[in-house]
Chains A and B, each alone.
Chain A
C-alpha cells in the first residue's frame, strides 16, 4: 500500500504492538504528529520536556521488558532527549527514539533547528539511522525494534527528515529481520559450560555475582532455581536488585561501593566467581588489582566485549543467560553437592553478624532509611520503585525489600538526576497494577518537576517521596569525608514549597515531619490514587554506609564515619 513516511511510522508502531508513545511535537516532526491525531492504536503521552519523554519510555521499558518508544522534534527537541538516550544506553535499555529532522535538501546548511542528530547520538545509542527516503523506512523501523531488543539491548535512534515523512512510498512491513552483519550469539559454548560446571563443583568458596543482564534476559526465575539448587551465596549489583527475594537466605545483599559487608567480603574471599550478566563496573569492583584476587572467574554475558574488558576471565561464556542456564542447571543438578559450601556459608553468615546492614534510628528526626523500610513494610511487593540519584538511591537499594525482577528502576550507569519521576510515570503506564513510588532527593526532584503536569493530566499516579535533607546529599557526604566539610554549593536550604508546587500542578502535596504523619500521608496518597509529593524532612547529616571510597578495595570498607 502507498502511504506517507509519517503514516508508516504509525503503522510500524501498530505492527510492533506499541501501546504507548511518550513525546513532544515540533516543526520537523509535525507530519508524524498529524498522523498520531488520526489514529487510535496507541496512546501518546505528552511529557513537558523531551528528556522526560525518553526517561518515561525508559521506565516503561524497564518495568515491562518491552521496547520503550519516544518521539521528539529536531534541534533542541533532539538535544533535550540526549540525556535520556545516554541513560538508557549505559543501562542497556531497549528504546526506539524517533526524531524529526530538517528536510533532506536543507541538511548541512545550518537550517533552522538543524543539528547533526545522528552524529550526536552515535556515542550513546546501540545504533542509529538517518533516513534518506520513505522507501527504506519500513525496513529501518523493523530493524530498529529488532536491534533495540535483541542481543545486549539498547536504545536505537531514527532521525527522519521532514520531507521523508511527507514522501509517499510503498509500505510493506518486513516480517523478519536479516542483518548479515548483526547476529548476536545466544547459545553458550557447550565445552565452556561444562568446564564452568566442573569449576563450580570443585570450588570451596564460590559466589554468584548477579548483574543487570539477569534482568534484561528475563532470567531471574532460572537464577533463583540455580541458587536454590546449588546453595551458593549470591551478591547483586544495583541493576540486579530483585533477582532474588530480599528474604532469600542466600542473598548477601548489594555489592560494591555501598554494598553490604558480607557481600563485599564474599567477593574478596571467594575462590570462584560466577558472574551472570554483570559488567564489572568500577563502582562494584573498587581497585581492580585487588578485585577478586583469589578467585577464578566464570563470566556469562550476551556481549562478548563485556567479557575480559576489565578483568581476566577464566571461563568466558558468550550467550543469552536463559539459554546458557537452561544447559548449565541440569548439568549442575547431577553433580553439585550443596553441603560442600556449608563452611563458606557459615563464614559469610558470621561476617553478617559482625557487620550487618544497619542504621541508627532516632526519635528526634526521621532517618531516611526508616522511610524506605517503612514503605517496604506498607507497600512491599505492591510497589514498583523508581529512584533519582544520590544518597536516597543508595538507601533504596540497600533497604527496600525487593522481591521481584524489574521492581527497582534506577539509573545505574549514567547516574542521571531527574530520571526517577518520569521513569516512574512510564513504569506506572507499563504496570498499572502496581503502585508507582519514586524515591527522590530535594535536588533531583527539581530536575524534572514539570512532569507533575504530565502525570496529573495522563492520570498516572506516582507517589514521589522526597527524602529532604536540604542538601545535594551525596555530594555533601563526599565533602564531609574527603573535602574537610567545605560544602561548596551543596546547601539547598532555600527551596520551593513542595506542597504548593504539587498543588499548583494538580497533584497533592504532603509535608511530613514525624513518622506518624508519614504513614498517614502515604496511606492517603495510595488510597486516593493521586499524583503525590510527600516531602519528608529527614536527618540532614545522615551518610550512606558502608562505603568503599573510590578506588579503594572491597575488603577495606568504611563502616562508620567518626567526626
Chain B
C-alpha cells in the first residue's frame, strides 16, 4: 500500500490536556505528524487542529477512527476538496538585496514584514507546495532563520 500525504482537521472540545490526548494517540500508535496547527475556534468552546500526516490507506483510516474515538473529539474532517495554506517567516541579513527579496516574496503571495538595522524579515502565505518552492528560491539570499507555521485547511464548499 502506498504512503500518501493527508491533511486532517479535528474539531475538539477546548479542555484541559486535549492536545496531549491527540499527540499521545499519534505517538502510541506510531502514526506520524508532519505538521500540526492548533487554535481556538472563535465564539465557541472548540479548537481546531490541522494535522498533516502520512500513511497508507489503512493507516489513514485508523487515524481518523482513533481520533473520532477520543471523547473530546467533535468532528474529524478528512479533506478532499480543500484550500490549504501555510505561512512562513524568513529572516535575511540586511546586506542582501531588498528589492530582489521583495520581488521574490510578491511572487509567492507575500511581502516584507519588517526591516531593522540588521535584518529583513519576510512573510509568505501560500499553498504548502509553493511555500516549499519559495524556501528553495530564498536560499540564494542566505536566510538566517526560517519559521514555518504548519498547514491550515478549509473545505472549498
What sequence of 0s and 1s flags, for each residue 110-143 of chain B, a beta carbon within 8 Å of any chain A beta carbon? Answer: 0000000000000000000000000000000000
A-side interface residues, number (CB < 8 Å): 18
Q: Which of A119, A180, A303, A304 contacts B20 (CB 8 A)?
A: A119
Residues of B within 8 A of A179 (CB): 71
A352 touches B (CB below 8 Å): no
Known pairs A123-B28, A180-B74, A181-B12; A305 contacts B68 (CB<8 A): yes
Closest residue to A179 on the B side, CB-wise? B71
On whether the beta carbons of A181 and B13 are closer than 8 Å, the reply is yes
A34-76 residues with Cβ-Cβ distance < 8 A to B are none
B100 touches A (CB below 8 Å): no
Majority secondary structure of chain B interface residues (helix, strand, loop or mixed): helix
Residues of B within 8 A of A132 (CB): 16
B41-93 residues with Cβ-Cβ distance < 8 A to A are 58, 61-62, 65-66, 68-69, 71-74
Q: Which of B28, B66, B71 contacts A181 (CB 8 A)?
A: B71
On whether the beta carbons of A181 and B73 are closer than 8 Å, the reply is yes
B40 touches A (CB below 8 Å): no
Residues of A within 8 A of B66 (CB): 305
On whether the beta carbons of B69 and A181 are closer than 8 Å, the reply is no
A284 touches B (CB below 8 Å): no
On whether the beta carbons of B24 and A181 are closer than 8 Å, the reply is no
Residues of A within 8 A of B74 (CB): 180-181
On whether the beta carbons of B58 and A308 are closer than 8 Å, the reply is yes
On whether the beta carbons of B72 and A181 are closer than 8 Å, the reply is yes
Closest residue to A131 on the B side, CB-wise? B16
| Cα–Cα, bound, A556→B21 (Å) | 41
Closest residue to B12 on the A side, CB-wise? A181
Q: Which of A118, A127, A130, A308 contacts B71 (CB 8 A)?
A: A127
B17 touches A (CB below 8 Å): yes
In the assembled complex, how far is the CB of residue B79 from the closest CB belonging to chain A, in whole angstroms? 20
What sequence of 0s and 1s flags, for each residue 11-43 of chain B, a beta carbon within 8 Å of any chain A beta carbon? Answer: 011001100110010001000000000000000
On whether the beta carbons of A305 and B65 are closer than 8 Å, the reply is yes
A293 touches B (CB below 8 Å): no
Residues of A within 8 A of B58 (CB): 308
A346 touches B (CB below 8 Å): no
Residues of B within 8 A of A119 (CB): 17, 20
Closest residue to A181 on the B side, CB-wise? B74
Residues of A within 8 A of B65 (CB): 304-305, 309
On whether the beta carbons of B71 and A182 are closer than 8 Å, the reply is yes
On whether the beta carbons of B61 and A308 are closer than 8 Å, the reply is yes
On whether the beta carbons of A130 and B16 are closer than 8 Å, the reply is yes
| Cα–Cα, bound, A130→B21 (Å) | 13
Q: Which of A118, A181, A182, A309 contacts B17 (CB 8 A)?
A: A118
A460 touches B (CB below 8 Å): no
On whether the beta carbons of B62 and A305 are closer than 8 Å, the reply is yes
In the assembled complex, how far is the CB of residue A292 from the closest CB belonging to chain B, in whole angstroms? 17
A153-206 residues with Cβ-Cβ distance < 8 A to B are 179-182
| Cα–Cα, bound, A305→B24 (Å) | 17
A122 touches B (CB below 8 Å): yes
| Cα–Cα, bound, A308→B65 (Å) | 10
A126 touches B (CB below 8 Å): yes
On whether the beta carbons of A126 and B71 are closer than 8 Å, the reply is yes
Closest residue to A122 on the B side, CB-wise? B24
On whether the beta carbons of B71 and A303 are closer than 8 Å, the reply is no
In the assembled complex, how far is the CB of residue A476 from the closest CB belonging to chain B, in whole angstroms? 32
| Cα–Cα, bound, A147→B65 (Å) | 18
| Cα–Cα, bound, A122→B20 (Å) | 9
Closest residue to A118 on the B side, CB-wise? B17
| Cα–Cα, bound, A309→B64 (Å) | 11
A228-252 residues with Cβ-Cβ distance < 8 A to B are none
In the assembled complex, how far is the CB of residue B7 from the closest CB belonging to chain A, in whole angstroms? 20
| Cα–Cα, bound, A181→B44 (Å) | 14
Residues of B within 8 A of A147 (CB): 71
A5-34 residues with Cβ-Cβ distance < 8 A to B are none
Closest residue to A130 on the B side, CB-wise? B16
Residues of B within 8 A of A305 (CB): 62, 65-66, 68-69
Residues of B within 8 A of A303 (CB): 69
| Cα–Cα, bound, A164→B20 (Å) | 23
Residues of A within 8 A of B69 (CB): 303-305
In the assembled complex, how far is the CB of residue B18 from the closest CB belonging to chain A, in whole angstroms? 10
In the assembled complex, how far is the CB of residue B81 from the closest CB belonging to chain A, in whole angstroms? 24
In the assembled complex, how far is the CB of residue B142 from the closest CB belonging to chain A, in whole angstroms? 42
Interface hub of A118, A126, A180, A182 (most chain B Cβ within 10 A) = A182
Interface hub of A122, A126, A181 (most chain B Cβ within 10 A) = A181
On whether the beta carbons of A122 and B62 are closer than 8 Å, the reply is no
On whether the beta carbons of B73 and A123 are closer than 8 Å, the reply is no
In the assembled complex, how far is the CB of residue B9 from the closest CB belonging to chain A, in whole angstroms? 15
In the assembled complex, how far is the CB of residue B25 from the closest CB belonging to chain A, in whole angstroms? 9
Closest residue to B74 on the A side, CB-wise? A181
Q: Given A181-B13, A305-B65, output 5 extra A-B contacts at Cβ < 8 Å.
A: A119-B17, A122-B17, A126-B71, A305-B68, A309-B65
A-B CB contact pairs (8 Å), 16 listed: A118-B17, A119-B17, A119-B20, A122-B20, A123-B24, A123-B28, A130-B16, A132-B16, A179-B71, A181-B13, A181-B72, A182-B71, A303-B69, A304-B68, A305-B62, A305-B66
Listed in ascending order, the chain B residues whose CB lies under 8 Å from chain A are 12-13, 16-17, 20-21, 24, 28, 58, 61-62, 65-66, 68-69, 71-74
Listed in ascending order, the chain A residues whose CB lies under 8 Å from chain B are 118-119, 122-123, 126-127, 130, 132, 147, 179-182, 303-305, 308-309
CB-CB nearest 6 A-B residue pairs: A305-B65, A127-B71, A181-B74, A182-B71, A304-B65, A305-B69
